[in-house]
Structures are given as structure tokens and as C-alpha cells.
Amino acid sequence: MPNSFQIVVCSSLVPDPLQTLEPVAGPALKNEMMLPAVLDPWAACSLYEAAALAAAHPGSKVYLVAMAPKAKLQQVMMTVAQKVPFELVALDGPLGGFTDAQSTAAALAEAIAAIPALDRSKLLLFGGWESASRGAGVTLQTAGELLGITEQFQGVDQLTVRDDGQLEVLERVEGGRHQVSLCQGAPAVFGWATGNLAEPRNSPQMGMANMRGITPALMKAKPVKLDANGLSYVSAAVPKQTRETRLVRDMPAEEIAREIVAWMAE
Amino acid sequence: MATFLPQVGAMLTLPGDAVRQILWRFSDRFDLQMLVQSARAVARGQVAHMVAAGERNTHEWTPAKQQMMEAFDKAGITAAFMEPEQGGFIAGPKNLALGLAAFELAWVDGGAATASLAGFLALAPIHERGTLEQTAHYMALAAPPQPGEDRKVRRGAFALTEPIPYVGVDTGILSGRLRVAEWNEGQEPLLHVEKRGRFITNIACADFVTAAVESGDPRIKGSCVVILEEGDPGSFDRGTPTKKLVHQLSSTGDPIFSLTVPASRIVGGYTVKDGVIVPNFSHGEIIEAVFRRTRVTVGLMTSAKLLSAVEPVIRYQRGRFRGAESIKEGSLRYEMGIQQREDALQRLVDVWASGEASASLGFAAARLFDDLDPLEREKTALLAERGIAGGRAEMKAMREVEAKAVALLSGDLVDARRDELASDPLVQYALRDAAANVLCPATKLWNTGEGTRMMREAVSLMGGYGITEDCPGFLANKWMDAQLEATYEGPEAVQRRQLTITMTNEVFLAQFKAWTKEMRAIASERPGSGACTLATAMTMWLWTLNYTQHATDADGNKLYHGQRQGVTFALADALCWLLAARCQILDVEELEARGPLDAVVAEDLPATLQFLRDLCHVQSARASGEVSRICAELVYGYNRHPAWDAEGHKACFLSDELDEYEGFIPGLGAVATDVIGVSGSHPVKAGPCAGCAGSLDFLHLQNKLATCLTGSRLAKDRAAGTVSKVMIPEALDYPQ
């Protein structure tokens, strides 16, 4: 079929953003296994973009390659499966953002390469350009390299397929600007920023349809042990929150605005 | 009685979905897990924003409220009631499913949950008793459109209650009338319906109504439920909105219908006998089948309120002093806030324990109905095969089955006979039916009644903040909403009256005895769970029931009597406490058995179990206290207190005879309390102390129960310690 794609979305799980995140020795996040988890928000955006792209190009298919402890993956799939149609490739691996990016990328690339009947000439590798846990910033690129894909784009907000099959990519660049690039076509890697799509509503009907494939995928999830590759962390901390309260009466709005701008410029 | 418990740390995080799925037995049901997530997204998203934006401040049906209904459709909540072939996604019985969806919606707003349930309530008469054609037609109309379909979802309302004087008082008496409008030879009769409704939910958006009516025509027999549609000839007046103080996200009004409909709209169909239309089901038969199930869901809505209060209260308590100049970061006051104080923690433990118990009871009831539904169909088919259908013939046949059920539970049977009875679907039906007949009203009565009282406690734990619109978690709204949940779909008196009858059923009582033994068995394996305390309280309740069924009051009147609600209703109340605490203990047993198999749950299982078991112990102690108080009042309260009169003096010592006795019973004078002086003087009190003749066994039980409370306050201390340490999210996951 013309312009049909095989879109592989890579994602990990992160704690629900509202949860208290407290680094502990390891490093790891305190009680991370027990905290409610979600699909990494950047990767989730890429999944929704992948589904929209697949829907617009009949014959396309979306795979979600996700690495996390199997039990956590199952919990998160109860929501993710309701969003868009996809086929899950599950890797039973560690949680958290403190793993070695090279090892993680290698595990992902191996799992992608093992997808039966995957046509690499139609492969678009999607994922988040960032992560809500600890974004190493290189995992997706490395996975692409390991799969031999050299056309890579990061901070993607829009992907348009032209009639001639070329891919027009809107990437974020410095200074709040976007850069438009053209790519001949698949295979290519796209590290998504937020994209432009809203989070789809939950549809239990779609979820039940997805679960027909997800359940066996979870059952045969391959255990993955990631090599630290000599990586060690000196310390880990969440950004410090500061609260400075001042009581000021009758301050003009212009003055308040000026002060806020000055504070932001600091 | 010493209780040795392994030392474990405090529970690390609030119990998450994985724990709840095991406790409430849907860890292997992906369909239900998805429904929960989907309903949660709507509740904590669209619904919460509506509440925060003040959408509850109007009684009118607004575009935002209409959009909420559409959100239910899109999220699969509406379809949860339907079979897969009707556009749903859950196969089989749906009591647990609907309970879970309502729980999630009521976590944020009770009115939203009611709005979703009202549609099911309208469809339920058709679902339970409708003809195949009616079921197929109306389910298809109410099902949300499938991908590629472009049609409007048709919504329903259920019209039973009528204007004063009958509203909410007696659903057996109807003023709505059904008459024959036109009946031509060989054609379907046309019926004219006159019905005025009162407090009808969803009426603002209803396209059809299932209305209970009585015959007003000699050519129609009895009563029935009839389906009315907006386009039917006549008047379909939605009436004025009810000025509710609660549940404002759902529509309620007093409609007036004057419509002509074909006789095929009689729910369940009809037959014509001797020129008279005989509905196949009376309105009473239909509403019994409907309310039996939907009342459980209402009880669960109040459970959700209690459990949803835990996180906001903890956050408020901990942050209470932050921001004050004198409270430095890192200080105990800064970190713990009000949680430095034992009272704040222990009161929250009580709220939490009540929430756990009521959720356990409600979900147990919902699961029981899921078990019962297919058995009920099998029972009907089996009896039909034997030529037994309806009314007295069925009751007679079931009496024999009930005797078998009691025999099965007696434990006196040989293996072969026991196996035979255990595999008999009729016996299984009788067992579950007897339990369901108690668990349903118990859930509705206790969850909502005690839930309302405990919501007041939760509100009070937030100080003045609790009673404001800004209160995180909308706790004040929930407190008031709970009061409506205690009232609609059968107020408390109706539930107590039903329990009065069903809790004395032999099959139920045989199960109750088995449950008491079960609690003892659990206690022997899990000391500190409160199961032993509960078993003693259960024994006391049973003893008191038996006592009141045979004893008379001071005037010789029977104690346990249908009209004597001071006795029967009080025993019903006491029973509910026991049932809730029992279900809570059983849920924690389930978690202990299945928790290790789930990697997420296993991570902190010992501490989670310890905490939830401590809550069980706390709740069992509270339940036992209630039961002891109620039973003592019933056992002693109907005896006339002795007076300082001639009759009363017979039980007293005379001062001079006491002096005489003292010579051969030294010390008697020191223990004799009721002594009449030579001048006729007597101690300053109401009368001679009442004796305990005939109720010594009760005193023994009460004494035992008092000592069974040993350790319960230690459990509360431990639970309070956990509440002060447990990790909570940074912020509530819905707006305020």
C-alpha cells in the first residue's frame, strides 16, 4: 500500500506526575514500585501521533515496545489500551530513570528487531525526546543507530506525509522556534516533543480489543537485565522548591507585572 | 489474651489499584479494570471541573450537565450496562461492574454517579423482565453509537414515586392509571396512561420513561410497568426541576404524563384472558428485581466518599501549620502539622476503617448478585421443567430446597449427600438468595447511614475549611450527598423493614452460624485481625435475636414482632455492623492469599496487610461495641425497673435482718446494696437494682465480648502511626 508505515513506539513507565518523588540510595525513587504509574508522557504523545498517522494511512500498524516490570505494565495497559489501537511488545525490565541508556537502547533495539514480519523499509521509530523520570536524552537515538536508522529527528511536534511519500518534520529548535525538515521516507527516528494531539478519551471497547493481543504479550514478556556499563551516580535530587512570601498592600498591577518579568529574567 | 504479631514497618503508600483489585476481587477482570480507569478519568476530569466551576449551584439542566452524559457515553460508562451484542463490552452479570463505575464517579461527585445510574435504572425493568423484543429495542437505543454510526443516544428515566401522599412511603400504592383507549378486534390494544411522577431522576434528558401504573380499567388486571416515549400521542411534560440541596449534577423533577401507547409497551408483555389484559409482571415483581440490585450500587457510592476523604484530610493535617513564620521547615510541627496529635490520627483511622468496611460489604453484595443472576435463571428453568411456575407453587418447592440448604450447612451429612446438595443449583441458589436478601438492604442501610455520620467526622477533621466550597475533595458536598443516598431508592426504614424479614430466614441464619465459625477459624490463624471479637459479637447478636423472638416485655407483649420496630429495626442495625466488619476481614484474607502473586502488591505486602488488618480490628471493636449496646438495651430495656414499692422491696434486705444474717454470713452487709431501713428509708436511686434472671447467658457473653476487645486500641494506635507516616501524592488528582 502506498505510504503505509510500521510505526514502533518505544516507551517506559514513570510514576504518576502528581506523586511524591523522592530519590533514595541506589539511586532510585522511594516506593516507586508501589506508586501509580503512567506511560511516560512524552512517549504517550508519540503513541497518539503514531495512531493518528496509522489511521490516516491505511495498511499501517502501530507497535508499542514498553519496558517495565510486567506487573506494572499490566496495570498501565488498563488505561493505555483504551486510547488507541496497537500491538504490545513487552519487556519485563527494571523501572526508573537510573538505568544505563546504552543498555536500555540495546534491549529495545533487540526487541524491535525480533518483531515478526517487521518491514524495516517502512519502519518509523517513535518515542519521547524527553522523559518524566530521568531523560538521558540518548536512548531513542541509540536504539535507532543500533537498528541502522540514521535519519533522526528530535523535539518533533508535527509529522506530515506528503503525497510523494516524503516526510515533512517540524522540530523544535532553540529560541522557541521550529525547524522544518524534509526526509525521503522511512526508515527514520522521531523523538517527539508534545505533538499537537489531545489525549484520546478512554474507550473500554477499544481496550478490550487491544487486550486480546496485550494479554499474551505480557505473558511472554522477555525478562531483561540491564548492564550498568560502569555507570554510577554521585547523587540524585529533585529540583528544590522555594517559597518566598511577601505581603504588599495596594501594589499597582503594572508594578506586579514588572516584578514578575524581572524575576523570570533572573 | 496476648496477641503476638510480627513486627513490620508502616505501610509506605496509600493502597493503590493493584491492592484494591485483589481486595474487591477483580484482579483477573481486565474489562472491569478498564471500566474503572475510564470512569475515573471522567470523574476526576470533566466531572471534577464541573463541580469546581460551580455547576452544582443550579437545579436546571445545563449544557455542561448534558455534556457530562455524553462523556459517560464516550467513556463506555453507559455501555457498561449492555451486553457485548448490544454495544457493551462486559459479558455476563454486571452488578460488580456498575458498582465499580458508580464508586469511581462518586469518588468525586454523587450526582454524577446518580446520573449514570438513573439510565440503568430506567433500563433495568426492561433488562430484568422485558420481552426479548423490548430488551433488544431499548438496549440498542440506549447504547452509545459504534464507530461509524451517527445517531443520538436515547436516555431513560424510571418513574415510580408519585406526589404526596404516597411519595417514598409505599411503593405498593400507585395513583398512576392505565386504561384501555382503543381495542379493535384482532388488533393490539391502545392504552392511555395517566402518571404523575415525583423526584424522577434524569427526567430532564429522558427520551423514554419506564413508569409504574395501576389499572384503572376493568379490562386491565393489576399493575404493571409501561414504557412511555417522548413522541407518543399526548403530553410528555418533564415538570419542574426539584430544588435539591444535593446531587445537583443529576436531573430530578416531577413530570406529568398523559399518553397513549400500544399494549406492547407493557414491560414483560401481557396475555389476554376472558377479554382482560393481564400483564405478565406486576409493577411490584419488577421493582423487586430491579431495586434488589441497584441499591447495592447506591451503598457503594457512600463508601467512595469515605475513602476519598482520606488523602485530602492527611494532606490538610500535615500542612496545617506550614507558611507560618514561626514554624520552621524541618520542625515536627512543619512536617506533621495536626498529625502530631493522637486524636486527629485516630479519628481519621475511624473514618478510614468505616470506608473500608462499607466498601467491602458493598462489593461483596455486588459480587453475590453476580453469582446469583445466572443461578436465578437456572432455578427458573429447572422449576419450569418440573411444571412449577410463579407464586405459591414456587414458594412451596423452594421451601424444600431451603431445608436442604440448611442441612448442607449443618455439617451432619455424609460426604456423598453433602456433595450432592453442594452441587445442586437450586440449593446454591437458595443459599445465595438468602444471603443477598440480607446483604442488599444491609449495604444500602449501613453504608449510607453510617457513611453519612462518618462523612461528618471527615468534614470536621478539616476544621472550618471542611465546610467551605474550597475544601479539597469536595467533602462538604459529599457529606450532604450521602444523606440523599440514605434516602433515595428506598429510605432507611424500608431497608430495616426488609431486614426484619430476611434476617430471620432459616437459610440465612444457618449461614450466619457458619460465618461465625469462620471468623473463629480466621482468628486462630490471624490473631489481631478482630475476627475473634467479631465472632463473639455475632454470637451475642444471634443469642439476642433468639431471645427477643421468644421473650416478652414487662406487659407480656411479644418482643420480636413485625410492628415492634424498636426491637426488629435495632437488631437489623446491629446486624449490618457485623456484616460489614466480616466482609472487611474476608477481603484482607484475600489480599494475604493473593497478594504475593502480584509483584506490585508483594513489594510492601506485610505492611499493607498489617495496616488493613489493624483497620479490621478497629472496625470489629466498633461494631462489637454497637452490637453490645443494642443487644443490652433489648435484653434489659423491656423489663420494668423495680421500684421502691412492696414488690420491689421483696428483692431487698431489711436493715435488721441484714444485721441478723451478718452473724453467720460475715461481710454480707458490705455487699448488700439494696437495704431498706427500719423507717422505710432506701438508697438514693431509681429503685432496687434490676436482677438478671433469664439473661445470665447474655451477661456471660457481654463479659466475654468486653475482654475480646483486648488489643483493639493497640491496633488503633498502630494504624494511627501508619497514617502519620504513609506517603501521599503531592496534590489531589482532581481540582477543587
A92 contacts on B by Cβ (under 8 Å): none
Q: Which residue has the cell 497514617?
A: B723
Beta-bridge partner residues of B256: B196, B237
Indicate yes or no: CB of B76 within 8 angstroms of CB of A205. yes
Indicate yes or no: CB of B33 within 8 angstroms of CB of A78. yes
Indicate yes or no: CB of B37 within 8 angstroms of CB of A79. yes
Q: Which residue has the cell 454470713?
A: B665
The predicted pLDDT at position B448 comes to 98
Distance from the B111 Cα atom to the nearest Cα atom in chain A, whole angstroms = 21
Taking each helix axis from N to C end, the angle separating B506-525 and B425-442, rounded to the nearest 10 degrees, works out to 80
Outline which parts of chain B fall under CATH 1.10.540.10.
17-151
The predicted pLDDT at position B270 comes to 97
- DSSP character at residue B445: I
The letter for the amino acid at B535 is A
Confidence class of residue B167 from pLDDT cuts 50, 70 and 90? low
Indicate yes or no: CB of A208 within 8 angstroms of CB of B30. yes
Which of A16, A21, A22, A208 best tests the B interface by mutation, with the highest count of B CBs <10 A?
A: A208
Span between the terminal Cα atoms of chain A, in Å: 54
Per CATH, which fold does B17-151 belong to? Butyryl-Coa Dehydrogenase, subunit A; domain 1 (1.10.540)
Enumerate residues 6+ apart whose C-beta is below 8 A from A148.
A120, A187
For residue range B574-598, list pLDDT tens digits in order: 999 999 999 999 999 999 999 999 9
Whether residue B606 is preceded by a cis peptide bond, meaning omega within 30 degrees of 0, is no
**Please, which residues 591-620 of chain B have a Cβ atom closer than 8 Å to chain A?**
598-600, 603-604
Q: Which residue of B has its CA nearest to A211?
A: B30
For residue range B285-308, list pLDDT tens digits in order: 898 888 888 899 999 999 999 999
Q: Are B596 and A68 in contact (CB under 8 A)?
A: no
A217 φψ region: left (φ > 0), alpha (ψ -120 to 50), beta (else): alpha
Q: Which residue has the cell 532510585?
A: A28
For residue range B430-465, list pLDDT tens digits in order: 999 999 999 999 999 999 999 999 999 999 999 999
CB pairs < 8 Å spanning A and B: 97
Grid coordinates belonging to A32: 516507586
Domains defined along chain A, listed by start:
6-223 (3.40.50.620)
Q: Is A79 on the interface with B (CB under 8 A)?
A: yes
Say yes or no to pLDDT of B420 above 60.
yes
Q: Which residue of A has its CA nearest to B85?
A: A205
Q: Which residue has the cell 441499591?
A: B295
CA B44, CA B636: separation in Å to the nearest integer? 50
Which residue among A18, A202, A211 places its CB closest to the CB of B730?
A: A18
Indicate yes or no: CB of A20 within 8 angstroms of CB of B727. yes
Distance from the A78 Cα atom to the nearest Cα atom in chain B, whole angstroms = 5
Along the 266 residues of chain A, how does pLDDT read in single tens digits?
Answer: 578 999 999 999 999 988 888 888 878 888 888 899 999 999 999 999 999 999 999 999 999 999 999 999 999 999 999 999 999 999 999 887 888 999 999 999 999 999 999 999 999 999 999 988 877 889 999 999 999 999 999 999 999 999 999 999 999 998 889 999 999 999 999 999 999 999 999 999 999 999 999 999 999 999 999 988 888 888 888 877 676 777 788 899 999 999 989 988 87
Q: Are B447 and B106 in contact (CB under 8 A)?
A: no
CATH 2.40.110.10, domain B157-289, yes or no: yes
Distance from the B718 Cα atom to the nearest Cα atom in chain A, whole angstroms = 21
Outline which parts of chain B fall under CATH 2.40.110.10.
157-289
Q: Is A81 on the interface with B (CB under 8 A)?
A: yes
**Backbone φ and ψ of B262, nearest 5°:** -70, 155
Which residue among A16, A33, A202 places its CB closest to the CB of B603?
A: A33
**Please, which residues 155-214 of chain A have a Cβ atom closer than 8 Å to chain B?**
201-205, 207-208, 211
CA B601, CA B613: separation in Å to the nearest integer? 15
Which residue among B38, B323, B733 places its CB closest to the CB of A82?
A: B38
Which of B33, B47, B67, B329 best tests the A interface by mutation, with the highest count of A CBs <10 A?
A: B33
